[in-house]
Amino acid sequence: MAIEKMKLVRVDGVLEHLDELIASCCLNGNFHPEPAIQHMSGSLGYITLSEDNPYSADAQRMEELFQLVGEEVPPLAAQHARDVRPEELAQIRRVGERLSELQKQKAELAGQKKELEEKCAQFEHFSTLDMPFDEIIKGEYIKVRFGFLPKASYARMMLAYGENPHVLFVTCSEDKGGYWGLYFTPRESADEIDGIFATLFFERLHLPYASGMPSEIVRQLKSEIESTQQKIDLADGEIGKYWAGERDICREVYQQLKWHEAAFDMRHYAAYRDHYFFFVGWVPADKEPEFVERAKKIHHMRVTVSDPGEVDTTQPPTLLKNSRFVKPFEFFVDMYGLPSYGEMDITGFVAITFTVLFGIMFGDMGQGLVLAVGGYILWKWKKMALARLIVPCGISSMVFGFLFGSVFGFEEALDPVYHALGWQGKPIGLWPNNPQNVLEAINPVLICAIFIGVGLVLAAMALNMVAAIRKKHWGEAIFSNNGLVGVLVYCGGVAFVSNFMGGPFFMPNTVAFVLMGGGLVLLFFKEILIGLVDHHPNWMPESWGDYCMQNVFELLEYVLSYFSNTVSFLRVGAFVFVHAAMMMAIFSLAGDPPSIIVVVLGNALIIALEGLLSGIQGLRLEFYEMFSRCYEGGGHPFKGVDLARK
C-alpha cells in the first residue's frame, strides 16, 4: 500500500545515439518520458525534435493488408527488434498488389451474384405466369405493368373500378402486405390507367428483359447464382492459399515496423541543438541504477539523476505499488482520481473496507460462492478488471453468509454445522422466532451499522492526519475538521448522541460538551491556526466580518457532514434485511415444498440485482463518506512505454 518512489533522469549526448538510448533504456516499461524542452532554459537554443515518422506509412499499408484478408493485426511488439530490409518491404508491396487483384476479382463476382439474386427475386414474384415473358411484354397494342398492389388498394380497386374493363389486375403471388402481379392497358389508355393505379399506390417493378417462362427464368438464374458462388469460393480458396504462404513474413515485418514506429515516436520528447540532444523522464527509484548503467554503456552519454524535491517544473507521475489482493481495488482509486505523488495510497484501506461492507450487505454463503466463481471466470476469460474485484467480494459474502446462516436463502441449511461446532445456533440471527419481536432483531443490526460508520469515519480522519504529518503540515493535522480537533468534536458528538439514545456509554455528557464546544471554537479559527503553525504567508483575514460570516456556515457544514456521513451507514444494516426479506419473498412464491425452478430463478435475480446494488452502495460509502475526508487525488499515472507487454 504505497506509491513508488521516483527519480528524474536527464540524459544528454550526441544525436546519432538517441535511437540506441531509446531502444536500450526506454522501452521496457520503466521510463515515463517528459517533454525535454520543459526542463531546460530557452536561452540555450534547444528546440523540440519534430520529425515525420518514417515507419508509419508502411505500417498503415500493412494494417490495410490485414484488413483486406479479414485478419486482426498481430501484437504491436517484436520479440527481437531488428531493421526492416528493403527487400522485405518490396515483397510486402507485391503481396499487397496480388491480394488486391484477387480481392478485386472476388468483388466483381460478388457484384454479379448480387445482380443475379436481385433479378431472381423479382422474377420469383411472377413465376406462376404460364406465358413466356418475352411474349407478354412485346404486345403491339397492349402495355403491361408489373408490380406490387397493397391489399387495401386491391379491395378499393374492385369496389371502385370493378366495371371498368381496362382496369384489370392479374395476381401472381401474395405476401403479408399485398399482391404481386401485373395489369394490362391499351396503349391509347395507358396514361389514364397508369393514373388510376398510381392513386391505388401501385409500386411498379421494372423487370429486365428475359426470354422463356418466368419459372424457367428463375431456374436459370438460380443455376447462374450457384455457378457464380462456386467461382467466389474458388477465389476465396486462392486468396487463402496465397495468404497462407505469405502470412508469417507479413506478421513478422508488421511487428518490426510497429516496434520501430513506437520507438521513433519517443524521439519527439527530445530537445536538440546542432548534433546534440537532451532527453528527460521519470524512472522508479529501484530501476534507476539499471537505467544509468545501460545509458552509460552508450558512447558520449551523460546522465544526471534528481530527486522529486529538486524538480519544480513538473509533478512526478504516480505508480501504485500494492499486493495481489489489494491491486484489483486500484480500479476504484483510479476511478476517483489517482493520489498525487507524495500523497498516501489508500488502496489497501479501500480493499478491506469495501470487501467487508459488501459482504455484510450481501451475506449469503451460496450466492457469494456464485459471485466468486463467476467473477474468477470472467476475469480469466474476458480479462475484466471489475470481475477481478468480484472474487474477494464473493468470498466476503460467503464469510458473512456463514455468520448469518444463509445458503441460497435457506436459513436452516447450516444448522448441522453449528451443532457440530458446539454452537447453540447462528452466530448472527436476523429474524426472531416470534414475528412480534422483529424490532428487537432489527435495532441491534442498525446500531451496529452506525458504529461501523463511526469507526470508518474515524479511520478516514486518522488517515488524513497521517497524510498531513507525512507532508509536515502540522497545522492541518491538528486543527482541520478532519484533523485532531475534528476527531475530538466528532467523538464528543457521538458520545452525546449515544447517551441521549440510550446506547453504549463512552463519556459523561459534560466531557462530551467540552470536547464539542472547545473543538468548534478551534474549528472556527482553523484557517488562522493552520496558517500560523504551517507558516502560510496570508494567514490573517482581510475582513473579519466576512471571515466570521463564512466560518459560521462552515461550522454548520462540518456538523451536518459528521452527522450525515455517520447516518449514511444505516444503509449497510438496511441492506442486510433487504436481502433477507427478498429471499423470504422468493420462498413465499416458491410454495411448500418450494419449487426448484422458482428458487433458482429467484436466486439468479437477487444475485444480479442486489449484487449490483450492494456494490453501488459500498462504492458510494467509500467515495462520499471516507474518501472526501482523507483523500484528494489529482495525480497523473506513470506511463512507461512497454512494447513487450503490448
Distance CA(368)–CA(361), nearest Å, equals 11
For residue 627, count other CB atoms closer than 10 A to its CB.
20
Q: Contact 31/283 with Cβ under 8 angstroms?
A: yes
Question: pLDDT at residue 299 above 90?
Answer: no
Residue 377 dihedral angles phi and psi, to the nearest 5°: -65, -45
List 499's β-bridge partners, or say none.
none
HSE-CB at 278 with a 13 A cutoff on CA atoms is 19
How is residue 625 annotated by DSSP? I
In a domain, residue 368? The reply is no
The grid cell for 4 is 513508488
Is 410 within a domain? no
Neighbours of 47 (CB within 10 A): 11
Angstrom distance (rounded) from CA 245 to CA 236: 14
Sort strands 6-14 and 178-186 into parallel, antiparallel or unpaired. unpaired
pLDDT band at 437 (very low <50, low <70, confident <90, very high): very low
- Spatial neighbors of 199 by CB under 8 A, at least 6 apart, are none
> Tell me, what's the pLDDT at 271?
92
Mean pLDDT lowest for which of 171-185, 216-230, 425-439, 474-488? 425-439
Cell numbers given for 304: 544526471
Mean pLDDT calculated for residue range 520-542: 79
Model confidence at 164: pLDDT above 80: no
Establish if 166 belongs to a structural domain: yes
The end-to-end CA distance of the chain, in Å, is: 26
**What's the domain count of the chain?**
1
Whether 169 maps to a domain, the answer reads yes
- Would you call 204 helix, strand, or coil by DSSP? strand
Evaluate if residue 438 carries a pLDDT over 50.
no
Residue with cell 486468396: 239
Given a cut of 70, is residue 632 above it in pLDDT?
Answer: yes
Task: Sort residue 641 into left (φ over 0), alpha (ψ -120 to 50) or beta.
Answer: beta
CA–CA distance, 529 with 403 (Å, rounded to integer): 48
- Residue-number span of the structural domain to which 181 is assigned: 131-212
Residue 263 lies in a domain: no
Give the pLDDT of residue 645.
59
535 DSSP 8-state letter: T
With bands split at pLDDT 50, 70 and 90, how would you rate the model's confidence at 72? confident
Say how many C-beta atoms besides its own lie within 10 A of residue 204's C-beta.
14
Segment 384-413 mean pLDDT: 87
What's the confidence (pLDDT) of residue 629?
A: 81
**Distance, CA of 451 to CA of 445 (rounded, Å):** 10
The CB-side HSE value for 241 (13 A sphere, CA atoms) comes to 7
- Among candidate residues 403, 415, 435, 436, the one with its CA nearest the CA of residue 576: 403
370 vs 435 pLDDT, higher one = 370
Q: Examine residue 497 and state whether it is found in any structural domain, yes or no.
A: no
Contact (Cβ atoms closer than 8 angstroms) between residue 203 and residue 187: no
- CATH code (residue 203): 3.30.70.100
Beta bridge partners of 273: 276
Cβ neighbors of 346 (< 8 A, separation 6 or more) are 1, 333, 339, 463, 627, 630, 631
The mean per-residue pLDDT over the stretch 99-128 comes to 89
Which of 279-288, 301-310, 521-530 has maximum average pLDDT? 279-288
Confidence of residue 547 (pLDDT cuts 50, 70, 90): confident
> With contact defined as beta carbons under 8 Å apart, do 58 and 257 qualify?
yes
* pLDDT tens by residue, 347-372: 888 899 999 999 988 888 999 999 99
**Mean pLDDT of all residues belonging to the chain:** 85
Stretch 454-478: mean pLDDT = 87
Region 451-466: what's the mean pLDDT?
Answer: 89
Residue 83 per-residue DSSP state: P
pLDDT-above-70 percentage for the chain:
96
Q: Determine the pLDDT at residue 321.
A: 86
Task: Please say if the pLDDT value at position 434 is more than 60.
Answer: no
Neighbours of 308 (CB within 10 A): 17
Can you tell me the distance from the alpha carbon of 377 to that of 383, in angstroms, rounded to the nearest whole number? Answer: 9
Q: What share of the chain is helix, strand, coil (3-state, %, to 5)?
A: 60, 10, 25
- Say if CB 634 and CB 25 are below 8 A apart: no
Q: Which three cell numbers stand for residue 187?
A: 396503349
DSSP H helix total and E strand total for the chain: 22, 12
Residue 301 lies in a domain: no
Whether the predicted pLDDT of 201 surpasses 60 = yes
The mean per-residue pLDDT over the stretch 283-295 comes to 92
Please indicate, yes or no, if residue 148 is contained in any of the structural domains. yes
Beta bridge partners of 370: none
